[in-house]
Amino acid sequence: MQSQTIDPAKTELNHHHAAEASVGHHEEHPDHRLFGLFVFLIAEGMIFMGLFGAYLAFRATLPVWPPAGTPELELLLPGVNTINLISSSFVMHNADTAIKKNDTRGARIWLAITAVMGATFLVGQVYEYTHLEFGLTTNLFASAFYVLTGFHGLHVTIGVLAIVAVLWRSRVPGHYSNEKHFGIEAAEIYWHFVDVIWIILFGLLYLL
Amino acid sequence: MTQAQLQETANIPALLEEPGVRKWQDFFGFQTDHKVIGIQYLVTSFIFYCIGGVMADLVRTELRTPEVDFVTPEVYNSLFTLHATIMIFLWIVPAGAGFANYLIPLMIGAKDMAFPRLNAVAFWMIPPAGVLLIASLVVGDAPDAGWTSYPPLSLVTGQVGEGIWIMSVLLLGTSSILGSINFLVTLLKMRIPSMDIHKMPLFCWAMFATSALVLVSTPVLAAGLILLSFDLIAGTTFFNPTGGGDPVVYQHMFWFYSHPAVYIMILPFFGAISEIIPIHSRKPIFGYKAIAYSSLAISFLGLIVWAHHMFTSGIPGWLRMFFMITTMIIAVPTGIKIFSWLATLWGGKIQLNSAMLFAIGFVGTFVIGGISGVMLAAVPFDIHVHDTYFVVAHLHYVLFGGSVLGIFAAIYHWFPKMTGRMVNEFWGKVHFALTIVGLNMTFLPMHKLGLMGMNRRIAQYDPKFTTLNEICTYGSYILAISTFPFIINAIWSWLYGEKAGNNPWRALTLEWMTTSPPAIENFDQTPVLATGPYDYGLENASEGVPLSDPNPLLSGGPNSVLRAEPDPAVAANPEDRK
């Protein structure tokens, strides 16, 4: 392969984006990645839909819900946590807006704040777990509560790790720019997704 | 293939002259080329077919006599559980993904899948999941609650085996989801500019419908299995009635995936048959749009029929009616496909080679399975034969007579493209004859057994069923023997078969417009379509693409046969070819 002459016109055809030419033959087109992410989130959303559907089915089968003897859930801490998570979605959006203006410093600050807010949500959730008066196997509601919030918490953790990852990558000047910011955009979309799922979850478990 | 031949056949530029795989050992490594991954999928899944087939023969050997005399009931339970799990999750579903991986980029003129590395990740989840599942036999606690793993039975049989089953299926489901994301993005974003969505080959339409179905239904199974694993490992009681849980909720979650799974297993091969029949009968496909949209209709309807597996589980009557009606409606888009294939065959110049024989066998046996499916959709009949061998007969006519014959038809059809060599037709026909005899001998008597009342999933039965069971068992041995001509033929032809050339079937779809096997990145320049994929009736094109012209479709220039005026006789009904 190395000894052959490379036709520059052909190379041009293979690599529409000169910046990506160094990646090799199998570069992934940014538009495809964004679309792929949305398709992936449909699958993620369907896992949660399955869990929500099961929760509603359990609720419908049992005459009393939550089953008798389940301690009342405190609303203050999860309420504050919810406001924190919803706000963090707006903060995350600022990071995206900043990078689209080529403001890497601004984007990094907003990313850092989002990561801290996400981590705060997780700490709040763990704190809530340790202070609840029921355990995983107390009854059907308790089990569903822990599995659903825990599965969502896992997704928040992945989101925080994704944000930390793009923050780490953005330390290289010019890694993200007005033209090229798929990482930040993907983390943002994922973060909004996690947020929307939490709003449904909060409504189902705490309010309904 | 030597460098000179490569250059000669397709004007491959120097940059691309070396194919992705240089020695056979490369197939065992991590590769991102979609063609290598496609073949890896196909060969891996075929190995699991052989393993699952051995298990089926052990099950049948046990059932040859009414007594429990060949294996213990526990081993028997594990055998039929593993047989079903392997055949579904490790053979038919990955084989469909294998063809899709190999063919989609070629058919739409793309260099590769949208996410080549994700593609490799999706494939490399399958071997560990399969090894994990089969290893459960070695640890002495294989899953034995049936492939449905219904709680509460699955919660009391064996924790280790059941846990292994859940992890293995979750891994395979993840692989399936990642694959379908790749197919959807590739199909929607990477078609060549001249390929309007209504010029896409029907296999691509079928994979589009399949992938959408995988994307929506598989995650729900994952959710069900997550809850089941908590029941199994952490002591929760989601599906355990003793703790207030509801096992029927598991059945809903399970069948929300596993009913669509039968369409995930059949739709890709509907697509393959839609490619094979027009090419080998030298006629334009009848009702292109009808076939394309009926795939989408099957996909959608497939999502709202799951509870027909649960007519005896105590669901309300009005719900039974709803699921009975929606299930029966699926016969309509399926019938559209069947009649379109028959209309394509009608008056065609049919070439009865191995691919075509398997395709016709597919249509015939699938119709039997489809009709018994409509029978089972009727609530009163289903209650009568529920969990009997009638159901076993039905599902094997659909999945063996349908999917497996479809896989073989597709292998025979695309073998020249994948390997650059022709298969031996004589041994292909021997394979077909043995398969069709074995298949009907094994599964036809099961209808009668079911109507007589023989239960499925039992090692011991009433002696009055003995004769029919003996016939089934000997039929299953013929099926086992039928694989040998295929394996030997495939290996021998791959090594020493007659050279195929680029387009041995004189086909018009894009995958035949490049070298056999295609070079890495498939096409040396972006192809331009001049016509639809099935326009075999066009004047001058009735014999397909002349082999002397390496890339007629790509040029579309004055010498391109596909720029020719349509034959007025054929063009009389242009709607059929749109």
Q: What ipTM was assigned to the predicted interfaces of this complex?
A: 0.86
Higher-confidence position of A14 and A82: A82
Position A69 scores a pLDDT of 82
**Cβ neighbours of B32 in A, within 8 Å:** 26
- Nearest-by-CA chain A residue for B179: A40
CB contact under 8 A, A4 and B17: yes
Q: How far is the C-alpha of B498 from the C-alpha of B104, rounded, in Å?
A: 26
CB A47 within 8 A of CB B53: no
Position B353 scores a pLDDT of 94
CB contact under 8 A, B114 and A26: no
| Three-point CA angle B141, B143, B449, nearest 5° | 125
What is the separation, in whole angstroms, between the first and last Cα of chain B?
38
CB B21 within 8 A of CB B43: no
CB contact under 8 A, B189 and A151: no
Q: How far is the C-alpha of A202 from the C-alpha of A197, rounded, in Å?
A: 9
CB B83 within 8 A of CB B254: no
Which phi and psi (to 5°) does residue B394 adopt? Answer: -60, -50
Residues B26, B30, B35, B38, Cα dihedral to 10°: 110
Q: Measuring CA to CA, how many Å separate B536 from each of B285, B338, B416?
A: 9, 20, 20
- B288 inside 8 A of chain A by CB: no
CB contact under 8 A, B115 and A32: yes
Position A85 scores a pLDDT of 96
From A182's Cα to the closest Cα of chain B, the distance in A is 15
CB contact under 8 A, B181 and A143: no
CB contact under 8 A, B189 and A35: yes
Of B116, B246, B526, the CB nearest to A26: B116
Of A39, A137, A147, the CB nearest to B184: A39
**Cβ neighbours of B521 in A, within 8 Å:** 14, 25
| Three-point CA angle B170, B174, B175, nearest 5° | 120
In this structure, what token pair is assigned to residue A10?
């052909």
Q: How far is the C-alpha of B264 from the C-alpha of B271, rounded, in Å?
A: 12
From B189's Cα to the closest Cα of chain A, the distance in A is 7
- Calculate helix-pair angle for B73-85, B159-189, nearest 10 degrees: 10
Position B12 scores a pLDDT of 41
- Nearest-by-CA chain A residue for B110: A14
3-state DSSP helix/strand/coil % of chain B, to nearest 5 = 70, 0, 30
Residue A71 clears pLDDT 50, i.e. is over it:
yes
Query: B421 pairs with which residues across the strands?
Result: B499
Q: How far is the C-alpha of B259 from the C-alpha of B310, rounded, in Å?
A: 11
- B115 inside 8 A of chain A by CB: yes
- B47 inside 8 A of chain A by CB: no
Under an 8 Å CB criterion, which residues of A touch B?
1, 4-7, 10-11, 13-14, 25-26, 28-29, 31-33, 35-36, 39-40, 42-51, 53-54, 57-58, 61-62, 67, 136-137, 139-140, 143-144, 147, 151
Does an H or E element contain B154, and which?
Answer: helix B153-156
Residue A26 banded pLDDT, cuts 50, 70, 90: very low
Q: How far is the C-alpha of B246 from the C-alpha of A177, rounded, in Å?
A: 52
Residue in B112, B226, B90 with CA at minimum distance from that of residue A24: B112
Burial A92-113 (b: 16+ CB within 10 A, else e): bebbbebbbeebbeebbbbbeb
Q: How far is the C-alpha of B535 from the C-alpha of B552, rounded, in Å?
A: 14
Residues of chain B with pLDDT under 70: 1-22, 537-578
CB contact under 8 A, B237 and A67: no
Which phi and psi (to 5°) does residue B421 adopt? Answer: -130, 155
Q: Measuring CA to CA, how many Å separate B317 from each of B306, B308, B320?
A: 15, 12, 5
CB contact under 8 A, A137 and B235: yes
CB B396 within 8 A of CB B88: no
**Cβ neighbours of A51 in B, within 8 Å:** 223, 226-227
The Cβ-side half-sphere exposure at B173, using a 13 Å CA radius, reads 27
Position B524 scores a pLDDT of 80
Q: How far is the C-alpha of B395 from the C-alpha of B353, rounded, in Å?
A: 27
Enumerate residues 6+ apart whose C-beta is below 8 A from A110: A91, A92, A94, A95, A98
**Cβ neighbours of A15 in B, within 8 Å:** none
**Interface test with chain A among B108, B112, B188, B227, by most A beta carbons within 10 Å:** B227
From B496's Cα to the closest Cα of chain A, the distance in A is 28
CB B125 within 8 A of CB B222: no
Q: How far is the C-alpha of A55 from the C-alpha of B217, rounded, in Å?
A: 18
**Interface test with chain B among A134, A140, A141, A182, by most B beta carbons within 10 Å:** A140
Q: Measuring CA to CA, how many Å separate A197 from each of A49, A71, A146, B93, B249?
A: 9, 24, 15, 30, 22
Model pTM score: 0.88
**Cβ neighbours of A39 in B, within 8 Å:** 181, 184-185, 215
In the chain, the amino acid numbered B30 is F
Residue A169 banded pLDDT, cuts 50, 70, 90: very high
Q: How far is the C-alpha of B364 from the C-alpha of B338, rounded, in Å?
A: 9
Position B527 scores a pLDDT of 83
CB contact under 8 A, B189 and A31: yes
CB B390 within 8 A of CB B446: yes
- Chain B (210-229) residues lying within 8 Å, Cβ to Cβ, of chain A: 215-224, 226-227
**Cβ neighbours of B220 in A, within 8 Å:** 46-47, 49-50, 53
